[in-house]
Structure 1
Amino acid sequence: MKYVVVDAFTERKFAGNSAAVCLVEGHLSDALMQQIAAEFNLSETAYLALQSDGCWSLRWFTPMIEVNLCGHATLAAAHVLWTEFGVSDEVLRFATRSGELRVSRMGAVVSMRFPITVTVNSDTTGWAQTIVKPALLSGAAIAGEDYLIELKDAMAVQNFTPDLPAIAALNSRGLIVSAKGAQGSGLDFVSRFFAPNAGIDEDPVTGSAHCALAHYWAQKLAKTDFVAKQVSRRGGVLGVAIDGDIVVLSGKAISTMSGELRLG
């Protein structure tokens, strides 16, 4: 089975978020897909299979679990189809756990249309204070499968030290930590993402989290188009826009390695 490893939400190698993309041409059991994802040990491994209707089946696995939505691995999958496997369609359709997702391209920029995640503001005196000191807190919210905390400034996000057992105790997919972009940075907001329950202590760039961040910051900033940066060690920049109940995530990707899995 052929695979390509891609760095997503970046235009330079060894930055952004890595995903392995596997082209499935026969049957793979769920257990085997999970084993392969653990072998790659990247934040996500994506499995692509062409369906009879021209849509691509797309599934995403962390080293520990299958997930419902993954932005960077979707970007990686589209990048691989266009640049490595000779697909010429300008709009790709993916059948996923989150419904049909559509991805298009304009030059090197890939745009993905994902369902928006509505955030619900939460009391900052509750669960949020098990994660961070009250003096650093500016807001908290429930964000679909995740929890979200807003810190007082971008530097606080950069310097945030996660208490991974406390984050795991939230019993969510993960924790989004965010703040407004620093003045003069050109960024509307920054973030980091932690998902110890999914086997990812810190995810380098998390497209799906921005489906919630878009909703959260639209209410805060009274706008619908953003430039966002995930300020992990590898880092990544995303274009984020709200179109009704859809979030359009845009970014670039670059292939870093390819090969063949020996499954026989």
Structure 2
Amino acid sequence: MNYAMYIVDAFADKPFTGNPAAVVPLVEWLPDALMQSIAAENNLSETAFLVHQADGRFHIRWFSPISEIPFCGHATLASAFVLMHELGRAQPLVFHAKAVGDITVTESGDGLIGMRFPNRAPQPVADPPADLLAGLGAAPAEVWANEQAWIAVYESAAQVRALRPDAALLTRVAPRDVCVTAAGDADGVDFVSRYFWPANGGYEDPVTGSIHAGLMPFWAARLGRMHLTAQQVSARTGLLYCALDAEGVSVSGRARRYLKGIVSL
């Protein structure tokens, strides 16, 4: 059997930036083990599989090279780009995933693709795990957490960029991943982050849309603004345009197709 597959750089304004995701549209689900094998073969942060439903929604599942992931933002953005720009689907699009419910996606005239996420605001952690603190290598000012990740808050963006965490130690704080963040230090950037997930996908994720469902409420409260620009300061880097309202969190970014091909099985 042959299946179309696209690789799209999400949260990317130019080639070879952002986070590459593979997108595989399907008529019906493949066996879980086969989807996991395809994701492992792709060896990208995530491979998204889509099945169109009779009610118009697209059920979506995300697989890292290691396991199925409950919530992924950048591969959702990549999937929306493929549906709108490669397959001619009209917006708004509605994706559905078991762990997060419906995700509505629209594209604005300037090419920004916006995703509506639930508010996943973190809570402060009074006694963070010793392996987390040791694994980070430099003590954060605070530690917070939501259902997805431990969130270590630093006093400067320079500290976030300089971190070289110990993957073996961070694996021990699973099932949560690890996000590090600080206020921005560049014009037009309100806060920065990096994301480490050795237990669930890889050492460092280039750009992580999903964690901004937690970072945006945190930084909106700190900075007193409901619209913020975020930068994930990985080697590839990426910009995310975030907004908070009573209904949830909006995370927007641009995308570029890198590859269109065929998976032959």
Scaled by the length of structure 1, the TM-score of the pair is: 0.94
Whole-Å Cα distance in 2 between the matches of residues 12 and 159 of structure 1?
24
Whole-Å Cα distance in 2 between the matches of residues 138 and 27 of structure 1?
45
Q: In structure 2, what is the equivalent of residue 14 of structure 1? A: 16
Deviation at 1:221, TM superposition (A): 1.5
Q: In structure 2, what is the equivalent of residue 162 of structure 1? A: 165
Q: Aligned letter for 1:131?
A: G
Deviation at 1:40, TM superposition (A): 0.4
After superposition, the Cα gap between the structure-2 partners of 1:151 and 1:4, relative to the gap in structure 1 and judged at 3 Å, is same
Give the one of 39, 44, 67 matched to 2:46.
44
Deviation at 1:245, TM superposition (A): 4.2
Q: In structure 2, what is the equivalent of residue 176 of structure 1? A: 179
Q: Aligned letter for 1:211?
A: A
Deviation at 1:27, TM superposition (A): 3.9
Q: Is the 8 A contact 1:91 1:104 kept in 2?
A: yes
What CA deviation, in whole Å up to 9, does each residue of 1:82-131 have, x standing for no partner?
A: 111111x2200111121111000112110000111121111367545323
Q: Report the RMSD for the aligned CA atoms in angstroms.
A: 1.5
Whole-Å Cα distance in 2 between the matches of residues 126 and 27 of structure 1?
38
After superposition, the Cα gap between the structure-2 partners of 1:25 and 1:126, relative to the gap in structure 1 and judged at 3 Å, is closer
Share of identical aligned residues, percent? Answer: 38
Structure 2 residue 3 is matched with structure 1 residue 4 = no
5+ residue gaps, structure 1, are none
Q: In structure 2, what is the equivalent of residue 191 of structure 1? A: 193
Q: In structure 2, what is the equivalent of residue 32 of structure 1? A: 34
Q: In structure 2, what is the equivalent of residue 84 of structure 1? A: 86
Whole-Å Cα distance in 1 between the matches of residues 75 and 257 of structure 2?
12
Q: In structure 1, what is the equivalent of residue 221 of structure 2? A: 219
Q: Aligned letter for 2:172?
A: A
Q: Is the 8 A contact 2:147 2:176 kept in 1?
A: no
Whole-Å Cα distance in 1 between the matches of residues 170 and 51 of structure 2?
35
Whole-Å Cα distance in 2 between the matches of residues 125 and 258 of structure 1?
44
Q: Is the 8 A contact 2:121 2:215 kept in 1?
A: no
Whole-Å Cα distance in 2 between the matches of residues 103 and 92 of structure 1?
5
Deviation at 1:3, TM superposition (A): 0.6
Q: Is the 8 A contact 2:20 2:44 kept in 1?
A: yes
Q: Aligned letter for 2:126?
A: D
Q: In structure 1, what is the equivalent of residue 252 of structure 2? A: 250
Aligned residues: 260
Mean Cα deviation higher: 197-206 or 117-126 = 117-126
Q: In structure 2, what is the equivalent of residue 140 of structure 1? A: 143
5+ residue gaps, structure 2, are none
Mean Cα deviation higher: 218-227 or 198-207 = 218-227
What CA deviation, in whole Å up to 9, does each residue of 1:39-74 have, x standing for no partner?
A: 101000001111111111111110111111100000
Scaled by the length of structure 2, the TM-score of the pair is: 0.94
Q: Is the 8 A contact 2:128 2:143 kept in 1?
A: no
Q: Is the 8 A contact 2:137 2:163 kept in 1?
A: no
Whole-Å Cα distance in 2 between the matches of residues 103 and 208 of structure 1?
14
Q: Is the 8 A contact 1:124 1:139 kept in 2?
A: no
Deviation at 1:185, TM superposition (A): 2.5
Q: In structure 1, what is the equivalent of residue 134 of structure 2? A: 130
What CA deviation, in whole Å up to 9, does each residue of 1:234-255 have, x standing for no partner?
A: 0000001112141100100000
Whole-Å Cα distance in 1 between the matches of residues 128 and 75 of structure 2?
35
What CA deviation, in whole Å up to 9, does each residue of 1:11-51 have, x standing for no partner?
A: 21111000000011244111111010001010000011111
Q: Aligned letter for 1:76?
A: A
